[in-house]
Structure formats: structure tokens, C-alpha cells
Amino acid sequence: MTPEDFESWSRRAADWGARYRRTLGDRPVRARTDAGEIYRAIPAEPPQTGEEMAAIFEDFENIILPGMTHWQHPRFFAYFPANAAPVSVVAEYLVTAMAAQCMLWQTSPAATELETRMMEWLRDAVGLPGTFSGVIQDSASSATLAAMLVMRERALDWQGNVRGLAGGPAPRVYCSDQVHSSIDRAAWVSGIGQDNLIKLPAEASGAMPPDALDAAIRADFAAGHRPAGVVACVGGTSTGASDDIRAVVEVAQRHALYVHVDAAWAGAAMICPEFRDIWAGVEQADSVVFNPHKWLGASFDCSAHLVRDPETLVKTLAIQPEYLKTHGQDGVIDYSEWSIPLGRRFRALKLWFLLRFHGLEGLRGIIRDHVRWSGNLCERLRATEGVEIVTEPALSLFSFRRAGATDDETIAHLRTINDEGRIYLTQTRVGDRIAIRFQAGSHAMTEADTGIAYDAILDGFGLSAGTAG
């Protein structure tokens, strides 16, 4: 591709992206293709000679686009948001064009130093003390795995990386049974194992019971096991439930255990001081993760991993062969030593653009709107005969179903709602029954979209809007 062609197609791609964002609200939220349809439309063999960009771009629009679920849609109410605010997309254009490998300070000093400053900005924005330092990981899953590796190494006197886990009692990690599946995967990958991830039944509120945690740790010490750490949750995926962080930390510190707080979704809302009561005591945790690529609007991937003692993280993960050493510069940070992968993208640039363009007040306004709009929809559904609110709003997340519906009927209602296309919702299990989740989080959302959601839900339930109280 010549420089002239690169310029032309870059402009066309940017123009396409702008048109796509303008028309998103007119599209069905979820892809409507059948399983295997896209696969069958792509030739079984790669081309032997190059093809024209015009043909490639046409196939992108005709083959790929119909199979995409539109995560930036204003009525994407499923899972948690994966926002990519337009200003973040612009920053990513620049990152992609430069295509820098930012594993060491010397491979791109600006990337390292901007990351340091952005993590300070985020730390201060969510109210954590200056004793915390941070690194941008690709996802909360990676941050939690890194934290669990630190737990393992501390418990094994820093010998796990050297000797492995065979031949001695395995480290044990504690959490509630409401944590995200990434906690289980971290236990697998770290070598701790599923049997040593001790899941305590949550209280009715969804929180981990501190007394049961203390009892489990004491029992494991007495049985010759090796307690290593606790993973606490703020804003759980199922219903938004949170652990009592202060109480959990008090128990963990009593036994000298490491505490990692998974606030992947809800942590972004902590830029609003009025919401910080849900993670009271977090300043005493050893590490915290939240995802700016969810509610703050940074495009994926961008996960903020904040730690009170970065030396333990570096001691666990750093490997320094000669070819990765930086000579002639003192006091520099190589963030590859804070992360599991060696390779690192320039993720800090989109945060810099995002925070400067919107400002904290602008981002707070978006989050406060989502919380208010979600609460209003919850109350409107509550006042509608035939709708049951299952769990109350936690920030912008609540769950509901048609009153009296069986699990099969609830899944059928959800399928009807999603297939119709105006909105996209997902299900969860609360107790022993299925419920439907609603969460407001799209940066493109307006208050009017909750009205569309209300109508789509009632239509999916086979109810009339006239039943509203």
C-alpha cells in the first residue's frame, strides 16, 4: 500500500466509523445471523495474490457487519458496557498508526511516563490514597491473575516461581460464591487450583460473610493448609452486590493475608464521591482493579490495576535478561515487570484524551445519569402489573422478570425481547431462579432510551403499557 493509498483508505475508514456511530440507534442491537453463516461466507483458502482494497472493504460491509453485535449501541443493556467514547477511538487511531511496542521505558518513554501519570489521575479520581501505584493491564482477568500470583508467592516465601507447587500444601484463596468466573480461572492458571479456591456462600445481600471467612481461614490453618489471600467483590456481575470491604480486610489482616478487590464494573462509579460507601475500607486492601474500558468510556482494552506495594508485584513477575535491561537511566519503570505479558500496547493515550476531553465532571454526569435513569425504569416496571422486581438497583443494575414466570418462560421472554432488536438484555440466576438483568451504561444512551426499553420489555412479556400504575 502506497502512502497515498494509506491516506485515502484511512480517511475512508474514519468516515465509515463516523457514519456507523451516527446510525447505530437505527440498527438492531444484536447480530441476527445464524451460527456458521459468516464462516461459510468466507473462502476456505487464503488468496494466492493480493486483492483490491475496494473488494475487501465491500466484503467487510456485506459479510462481517451483519454478524456484529453493536456494543456501542445506545440500548445495549446486556452484560456490562464496553464503551469506546469517540475521543478514545480517535486516540486509538494514533496508537494503531504508531504501532509502538511499549514493554520497556526505553522502547517508548512517553508511553511509560504517561501511563504513570494516568494511573495517578485515576487513583486520585476514585479517592484512593497516594500510597497506591498503578499499571494498566489488558483486563481485570489479568489483574486478578497477577494478584493471585502475588498471594501465592507471599504464602510460599517467594519460592513458588522457583520450585513450583508440588510437594507442599497449596496456597488457599477465599471469596464468596458470587465472584466473577475470572477468579476461578485465575486459580486454575496460577496453579492454586479450584479445590483451593474456597467459595463461601454469600449472605442474602450477596456479600461474603466476614465471620464465615474468619472461621474458614482458622480451620484451614488448623488443618495444615496454607491460607494466602482473599478476593473481595464490589459490584458483582450477577446483581451488582458488594462485599463489606472494611470487614473483609479486617479479617484478612488478622491472619496476614493479601486482599485483592475486584471492582471491574463498579469501580468507575467511584469517581462520584456519593457512591464510595459501597467500597468503604478499600484503602486498606493490597490491590484493586477496575476497568475504564467499561463505564468510563476508554475503548477496550484498558484495566486499572492499583497496588499498595508494587514491589511485591514486581518481585513476583519481573524477569530481567540482558536484552530487556535499560542501561544509563536510573529510576525508570518497565511496566512489563508489572504485567504477565511482556508485550504492551500504548493504552495510556486513550485515557489521556478521554480524561482531558470530558473532564471528571463530564464523566461523573454520564454515570449519574445512568444510575438515575436505571432507577427510574426500575420504578416504572415495579408499578406495572405483571412485572416482578427481583433485585433492587445497585448503581445502574437491577433484575426483574414477569411475575409468576417459570425459568423456561423467563428465557423465552428474554429471547423474544432480544430477537425483536430494539434492546439487548441478558439473564442471571438469583437464588434458584432465572431473572433478567438490566444495566444502563452506554455513553450514547439518552433518557428516552429507557422509555424504549420499557416498551420493548412489556411487549416481550405480552403485557400492555396500560397496566402501569
Q: What's residue 328's pLDDT?
A: 45
Using alpha carbons only, give the angle 289, 94, 302 rounded to the nearest 5 degrees: 10
Give the whole-angstrom CA distance, residue 276 versus residue 281. 10
Question: What burial letters (b/e) apply to 19-53, b meaning 16+ CB within 10 Å?
Answer: eeeeebbeebbbeeeeeeeeeeeeeeeeeeeeeee
Instruction: Report the CATH number of the 101-345 domain.
Output: 3.40.640.10
How far is the CA of 6 from the CAs of 13, 97, 101, in angstroms? 10, 10, 21
Within 8 A by CB and 6+ apart from 436, the residues are: 399, 400, 401, 410, 413, 414, 417, 425, 426, 427, 428
HEC profile of the chain: CCHHHHHHHHHHHHHHHHHHHHHHHHCCCCCCCCCCHHHHHCCCCCCCCCCCHHHHHHHHHHHHHHHCCCCCCCCECCCCCCCCCHHHHHHHHHHHHHCCCCCCCCCCHHHHHHHHHHHHHHHHHCCCCCCCEEEEECCHHHHHHHHHHHHHHHHCCCCHHHHCCCCCCCEEEEEECCCCHHHHHHHHHCCCCHHHEEEECCCCCCCCCHHHHHHHHHHHHHCCCEEEEEEEECCCCCCCCCCCHHHHHHHHHHCCCEEEEECCCHHHHHHCHHHHHHHCCHHHCCEEEECHHHHHCCCCCCEEEEECCHHHHHHHHCCCCHHHCCCCCCCCCCHHHHCCCCCCCCCHHHHHHHHHHHHHHHHHHHHHHHHHHHHHHHHHHHCECCEEEEEEEECCEEEEEECCCCHHHHHHHHHHHHHHCCCECEEEEECCEEEEEEECCCCCCCCHHHHHHHHHHHHHHCCCHHHEC
How remote is the C-alpha of 168 from its chain's centroid?
34
How far is the CA of 55 from the CAs of 5, 40, 58, in angstroms? 14, 18, 5
Number of Cβ atoms within 10 Å of the Cβ of 323: 5
Q: What's residue 387's pLDDT?
A: 97
Q: Is beta strand 397-402 parallel, antiparallel or unpaired with respect to 433-439? A: antiparallel
In terms of Cβ atoms closer than 10 Å to its own Cβ (0-12, 13-18, 19+), residue 452 is middle
Q: What's residue 245's pLDDT?
A: 97
Give the whole-angstrom CA distance, residue 388 versus residue 363. 32
Q: List the domain boundaries for the chain.
A: 3-81, 101-345
Pick the CATH number of 3-81 from 2.60.40.10, 2.30.29.30, 1.20.1340.10, 3.40.50.11890: 1.20.1340.10
Question: What burial letters (b/e) apply to 132-154, b meaning 16+ CB within 10 Å?
Answer: bbbbbbbbbbbbbbbbbbbbbbb
Query: What sign for the dihedral angle of Cα 52, 54, 57, 62?
Result: negative
Alpha-carbon torsion, ordered 324, 325, 331, 336, to 10 deg? 10
Strand partners, 434: 429
- Say whether pTM exceeds 0.75: yes
Q: What's residue 330's pLDDT?
A: 55
Cell of 429: 440466576
The pLDDT tens digits along the chain (469 residues) read 899 999 999 999 999 999 999 999 999 999 988 899 999 999 999 999 999 999 999 999 999 999 999 999 999 999 888 899 999 999 999 998 888 887 887 778 888 999 999 999 999 999 999 999 999 999 989 999 999 999 999 999 988 888 888 777 889 999 999 888 889 999 999 889 999 999 999 998 889 999 999 999 999 999 999 999 999 999 998 899 999 999 999 999 999 999 999 999 999 999 999 999 999 999 999 999 999 999 999 999 999 999 999 999 999 988 765 445 554 445 688 888 899 888 888 899 999 999 999 999 999 999 999 999 999 999 999 999 999 999 999 999 999 999 999 999 999 999 999 999 999 999 999 988 999 999 999 999 999 999 999 999 999 999 976 555 4
